[in-house]
């Protein structure tokens, strides 16, 4: 379980997060929405310790994130917007292996994890391919595999669908749904809920660094436009 | 462009360390025996090594063309002493040295074409343990990873300037504009990349890529050691 | 899950990670600059942006990380990344006639950075005087040619006069142009990351 309590994040003169609290239970499927600049990306970067809060606390399974970065980063996988700049290696296999290598696992275990992660995103046959020769949708799936190879309990995806055409988007969505069914909790940052509204358990909307809505998808539908999200 | 190409030659199957040993040994011999006879023998050896790597010599020579002006200018200018006619004796050492550079480049090209970055990184981290090795090994891997990306960035920036009549500005100004734009893009990429590294637990003590000698490496190591022995003998007893 | 970890994971610190990423990207940028040649009438070798890259490494990454970036550049090139002039790569380039210039880059970046920042720490360039910037770059150029020309001389067994003329004198105007460009870049505040 991820617990964010009253987190304040100052960025220079402006306050990016102003007392945000959020709970992500194990196995939950959650969409985090809000207009540009509402603090979505800043918030998720606190979930695995990429940012440290100025006030408040973030814990994963009861352990403070800033004090246990390795535990937080293995438990909370992160997939960034525009994965192109985030790949570490030129080939699919070498990139997916990067996380487990950093954990110091032995080769057999790394190999098992790479196989499992590629299977989970349906990219097994592309294992030896160069990443820059793959389509945008395939690259998005490799980025997810790179996070899955850490065997995280939670997976956070920042705008995973931006720049994807509809078939790629649907493929990624199906893979995510399968992960959710297997018990991985998912946090998807987006400003476009198409295809998500009927799948997620909960929606959290941010506005100007505070939580404007937190509830089931049924309750949010009539309010989407006022929350700065495309209605669907 | 001279770069790694997947393949199935003998050299592709060699351990990177034995290839570096052969390469270093060859260069040492070439520097000790920079004589017509020595270089003639080394030419045969260099072609042999290229054959082992199944690399065509003429393609490598084409890659080497940017050094030719230096190679030709040195003996020509060396031969023209102040106020005198061309003195061939003064030009010979430069010509031999230029030819030596060419041979060393040929053999190095065989390594470049047959060794993926993963192998090179493994060799680095075998030679330099600990944090310095991890910095050099990962750093080199990242350079390989981002070189094509940044080249494409620069190409797009140049196209943009051409479209907006940037060619009418002075050279320092054009250099400045291009460099600033390229630099800013590269630093933005570095910022995003470093976040991704941190999210995936970038550590000082990861599991290293494996390197291992195979039976094929035995002759390669023998050849490399023989080169070093010949060079050592020549350096001490004079060729 | 973390119990299957073989040993304690020794994370690279946040700031060091950023510096490693920047050094590697800068080294790759140096490699990309090698393909950008401005025609130059005084020498058969075209003028590339690389010496400007050495200046900027010292100025914007600081003396230590600037030098580290240059080490990565050379090592990547030696091991086969096509980062040297016109896509050259391999140990052969470093052992060839122009190898001395390349070998001098880490030291030159260190010199430029140390003079401009007044020490090994990275400081804001806004506080550095133009005299400091120019002084740093002049020292950097001295280091590059101080190592590059003797190497060329030794490597091609030239006469010293030939080495100095072909290896240094003809490039002086080009280096001056690059210093002007570097000063302009620093003063314009156009580079955001510093």
The CATH number that applies at residue A66 is 3.40.50.300
Contact present, A102 and C10 (Cβ < 8 Å): no
**Tally of domains within chain A:** 1
Counted domains in chain B: 1
Q: Which of A136-140, A227-231, B219-223 has the lowest mean pLDDT?
A: A227-231
- Identify the domain containing residue A36 by its residue range: 2-220
Residue A107 has what pLDDT?
A: 94
Between chains, do C5 and A104 touch, taking CB under 8 Å as contact? yes
Spatial separation of the C-alpha atoms in residues B18 and B221, rounded to whole Å: 5
Which residues on chain A are in Cβ contact (under 8 Å) with B189?
A: 85
Instruction: Find which of C3, C5, C8, C12 to mutate to test the A interface (most A CBs within 10 Å of its CB).
Output: C5
C37 burial (CB, 10 Å; 0-12 / 13-18 / 19+) is middle
Residue partners of A8: CB distance under 8 A and separation at least 6: A15, A17, A18, A19, A53, A54, A55, A56
Q: How far is A151 from chain C (nearest CA, A)?
A: 7
Instruction: Select from C3, C4, C15, C192 the residue whose CB has the most chain A CBs within 10 Å, as the one to mutate to test that interface.
Output: C4
Q: Which residue shows structure tokens 């990139």? A: A95
| pLDDT tens by residue, C31-53 | 998 877 666 566 555 566 788 88
3-class secondary-structure state, position B86? strand
Domain-located, residue B162: no
Place C22 in a pLDDT band, splitting at 50, 70 and 90: very high
The 3-state secondary structure of chain A reads: CEEEEEEEEEECCEEEEEEEEEEECCCCEEEEECCCCCCHHHHHHHHCCCCCCCEEEEEECCEECCCCHHHHHHHEEEECCCHHHHCCCCEHHHHHHHHHHHCCCCHHHHHHHHHHHHHHCCCHHHCCCEHHHCCHHHHHHHHHHHHHCCCCCEEEEECCCCCCCHHHHHHHHHHHHHHHHCCCEEEEECCECCCCCCCCCEEEEEECCEEEEEECHHHHHHHCHHHCCECC
The 10s digit of each residue's pLDDT in B108-156 is 889 988 998 889 999 999 999 999 999 999 999 999 999 989 989 998 9
Instruction: pLDDT band for A154, please (50, 70, 90 cuts).
Output: very high
Q: What is the pLDDT of residue C34?
A: 81
| CA distance, residue C31 to nearest chain B CA (Å) | 7
Question: Do B205 and A104 lie within an 8 Å CB cutoff?
Answer: yes
Average the pLDDT over A168-186 and give the result: 93
Per-residue pLDDT, B172: 67
What is the distance between the alpha carbons of residues A64 and A100, in angstroms, rounded to a whole number? 22
**Which chain A residue is nearest to residue C21, measuring alpha carbons?**
A88
CB-CB under 8 Å, B202 with A102: yes
What does the alpha-carbon distance between residue A109 and residue C5 come to, in Å, rounded to a whole number?
10
Chain C residues in contact with A98 by the CB 8 A cut-off are: none
Q: Which residues contact A20 (CB under 8 A, 6 or more apart)?
A: A4, A6, A7, A39, A43, A56, A206, A209, A210, A211
Parallel, antiparallel or unpaired: strands A2-11 and A55-60 = antiparallel
Tell me the pLDDT tens digit for each residue of B26-84: 999 998 998 999 999 999 999 999 999 998 888 888 877 766 766 676 676 666 655 55
Q: How confident is the model at residue C2 (pLDDT cuts 50, 70, 90)?
A: very low
Question: DSSP secondary structure string, C101-114?
Answer: HHHHHHHHHHHHHH
Pairing state of beta strands A185-189 and A154-158?
parallel
Taking CB atoms and an 8 Å limit, are C4 and A105 in contact across chains? yes
Residues of A in contact with C11 (CB under 8 A): 69-70
Instruction: Please indicate, yes or no, if residue A138 is contained in any of the structural domains.
Output: yes
Rounded CA separation A107/A97 (Å): 10
Task: State the angle between helix axes of B130-163 and C14-33 in degrees (0 to 180), rounded to the nearest 10.
Answer: 50
Query: Looking at the complex, does the CB of residue B130 fall below 8 Å from at least one CB of chain C?
Result: no
pLDDT of residue B58: 87
Q: Which residues of A touch B202 (CB under 8 A)?
A: 102
Residue A117, min C-alpha distance to chain B (Å) = 14
Higher per-residue confidence, C115 vs C162: C115
Closest B-chain CA to C72: B140
Rank C29-43, C133-147, C152-166 by mean pLDDT and report only the highest.
C133-147
Kindly state whether residue A229 falls inside one of the protein's structural domains: no
Give the SS3 label for residue C34.
Answer: coil
Q: Which residues of A touch C6 (CB under 8 A)?
A: 103-106
User: Do the Cβ atoms of C184 and B179 come within 8 Å?
Assistant: no
Give the nearest chain B residue to A93 (CA atoms).
B118
User: Residue B33 phi/psi, 5° resolution?
Assistant: -105, 60
**Token code pair at residue C133:** 């910037």
Cα–Cα distance, A161 to B34 (Å, whole number): 62
Q: Are B26 and B46 in contact (CB under 8 A)?
A: yes
CB A78 within 8 A of CB A118: no
Find chain C residues with C-beta within 8 A of B178's C-beta.
36, 49
Distance set, CA B42 to CA A166, B34, B59, B238 (Å)? 60, 10, 19, 17
With respect to residue A232, please indicate whether it lies within any of the assigned structural domains: no
pLDDT value of position B55: 87
In a domain, B148, yes or no: no
List Cβ neighbours of A229 (8 Å cut-off, separation of 6 or more): A33, A34, A35, A191, A192, A193, A205
Structural domains in chain C plus CATH codes = 3-193 (1.10.1760.20)
Chain C residues close to A103, C-beta within 8 Å:
2, 5-6, 9
Strand A2-11 to strand A76-79: parallel, antiparallel, or no bridges (unpaired)?
unpaired
pLDDT bucket at A12, cuts 50 / 70 / 90: confident
For residue B74, is it within any domain? yes
What's the pLDDT at B97? 83
Residue A25 lies in a domain: yes
Give the H/E segment covering residue B190: helix B171-199
Q: Quick check: A71 and C9 CB within 8 A?
A: no
Report C:25-44 residues touching B (Cβ under 8 A): 25-29, 31-33, 35-36, 38, 43-44
Residues in contact with A115: Cβ distance below 8 Å, sequence separation at least 6, in sequence order = A124
Q: Strand pairing of A76-79 and A185-189?
A: unpaired
Structural domain boundaries, residue B51: 1-116+209-239
Q: Is A70–C1 a contact, with Cβ atoms under 8 angstroms apart?
A: no
Judge contact between B198 and A73, C-beta under 8 A: yes
Among C148, C156, C176, the strongest candidate for a mutation testing the B interface, having the largest count of B CBs within 10 A, is C156
What pLDDT was estimated at residue C155? 81
Lowest mean pLDDT among B48-52, B63-67, B94-98, B159-163: B63-67
C188 or B22, higher pLDDT: B22
Answer for the pair C59, C186: CB distance below 8 angstroms, yes or no.
Answer: yes
pLDDT tens digits, one per residue of C171-182: 777 777 788 778
Instruction: Judge whether A137 lies within some domain.
Output: yes
Residue with the two structure tokens 């490699």: C31
C-alpha closest to that of C156 among C167, C144, C145, C146 = C167
Q: What is the mean pLDDT of residues B95-101?
A: 84
Please tell me the distance from the alpha carbon of residue C190 to that of residue B229, in angstroms, as a whole number.
Answer: 55
Return the residue of C nearest to B197 by Cα.
Answer: C17
Tokens 């119990």 identify what position? C3
Quick check: is A225 in a domain?
no
CA neighbor of B120 nearest in space, from C82, C81, C65, C32: C81
Specify the pLDDT at position B85: 61
CB A206 within 8 A of CB A20: yes
Report the C-alpha gap between B156 and B154 in whole angstroms: 5
Neighbours of chain B (3+ CB pairs under 8 A): A, C
* Residue B126 within any structural domain of the chain: no
Q: What is the DSSP letter of B208?
A: P
Contacts of C67 in chain B (CB under 8 A): none
- Prediction ipTM score: 0.93
Assigned domain for B32 exists? yes
Structure tokens given for A4: 């964010």
Summarised one tens digit per residue, pLDDT across range A116-125 is: 999 999 999 9
| Beta carbons within 8 Å of C42's beta carbon, 6+ residues apart | C170, C171, C173, C174
């Amino acid at each position: 379980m991820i617990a964010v309590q009253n987190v304040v994040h100052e960025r220079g003169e402006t306050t990016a997060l102003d007392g945000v609290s959020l709970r992500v239970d194990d196995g939950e499927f959650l969409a985090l929405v809000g207009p540009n600049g509402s603090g979505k990306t800043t918030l998720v970067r606190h979930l695995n310790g990429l940012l440290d809060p100025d006030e408040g606390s973030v814990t994963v399974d009861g352990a403070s994130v800033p004090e246990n970065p390795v535990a937080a980063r293995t438990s909370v996988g992160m997939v960034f917007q525009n994965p192109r700049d985030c790949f570490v290696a030129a080939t699919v296999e070498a990139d997916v292996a990067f996380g487990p290598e950093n954990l110091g696992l032995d080769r057999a275990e790394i190999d098992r994890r790479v196989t499992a992660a590629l299977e989970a995103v349906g990219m097994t046959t592309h294992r030896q391919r160069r990443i820059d020769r793959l389509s945008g949708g395939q690259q998005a799936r490799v980025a997810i595999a790179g996070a899955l190879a850490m065997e995280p309990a939670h997976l956070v995806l920042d705008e995973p669908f931006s720049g994807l055409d509809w078939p790629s988007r649907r493929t990624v969505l199906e893979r995510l749904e399968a992960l959710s069914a297997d018990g991985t909790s998912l946090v998807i940052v987006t400003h476009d809920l198409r295809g998500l509204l009927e799948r997620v358990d909960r929606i959290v909307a941010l506005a100007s660094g505070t939580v404007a809505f937190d509830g089931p998808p049924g309750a949010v539908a009539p309010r989407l436009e006022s929350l700065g999200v495309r209605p669907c | 462009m001279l770069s790694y190409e997947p393949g199935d030659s003998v050299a592709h199957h060699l351990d990177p360390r034995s290839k570096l040993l052969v390469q270093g040994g060859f260069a040492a011999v070439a520097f000790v025996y920079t004589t017509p006879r020595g270089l003639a023998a080394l030419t045969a050896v260099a072609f042999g090594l290229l054959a082992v790597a199944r690399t065509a010599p003429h393609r490598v020579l084409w890659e080497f063309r940017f050094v030719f002006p230096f190679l030709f200018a040195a003996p020509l200018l060396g031969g023209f002493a102040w106020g005198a006619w061309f003195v061939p004796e003064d030009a010979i050492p430069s010509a031999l040295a230029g030819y030596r550079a060419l041979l060393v480049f040929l053999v190095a090209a065989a390594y470049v074409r047959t060794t993926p970055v993963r192998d090179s990184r493994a060799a680095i981290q075998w030679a330099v343990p600990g944090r310095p090795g991890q910095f050099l090994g990962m750093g080199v891997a990242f350079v390989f990873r981002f070189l094509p990306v940044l080249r494409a960035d620069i190409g797009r920036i140049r196209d943009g300037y051409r479209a907006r009549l940037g060619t009418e500005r002075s050279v320092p100004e054009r250099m400045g504009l291009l460099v600033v734009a390229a630099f800013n893009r590269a630093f933005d990429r570095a910022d995003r990349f470093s976040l991704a590294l941190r999210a995936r637990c970038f550590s000082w003590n990861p599991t290293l890529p494996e390197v291992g000698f195979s039976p094929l490496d035995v002759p390669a190591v023998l050849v490399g050691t023989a080169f070093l022995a010949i060079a050592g003998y020549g350096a001490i007893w004079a060729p | 899950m973390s119990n299957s970890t073989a040993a304690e994971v020794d994370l690279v610190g946040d700031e060091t990670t950023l510096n490693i990423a920047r050094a590697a990207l800068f080294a790759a940028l140096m490699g990309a600059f090698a393909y950008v040649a401005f025609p130059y009438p005084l020498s058969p070798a075209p003028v590339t942006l690389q010496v400007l890259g050495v200046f900027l490494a010292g100025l914007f990454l600081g003396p230590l990380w600037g030098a580290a970036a240059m080490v990565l550049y050379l090592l990547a090139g030696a091991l086969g990344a096509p980062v040297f002039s016109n896509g050259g790569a391999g140990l052969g380039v470093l052992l060839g006639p122009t190898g001395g210039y390349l070998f001098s880059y880490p030291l030159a970046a260190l010199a430029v950075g140390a003079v401009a920042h007044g020490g090994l720490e990275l400081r804001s360039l806004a506080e550095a005087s133009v005299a400091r910037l120019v002084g740093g770059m002049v020292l950097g150029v001295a280091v590059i040619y101080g190592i590059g020309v003797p190497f060329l001389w030794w490597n091609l067994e030239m006469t010293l006069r030939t080495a100095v003329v072909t290896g240094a004198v003809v490039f002086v105007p080009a280096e001056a142009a690059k210093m002007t460009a570097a000063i302009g870049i620093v003063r314009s505040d156009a580079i955001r990351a510093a």
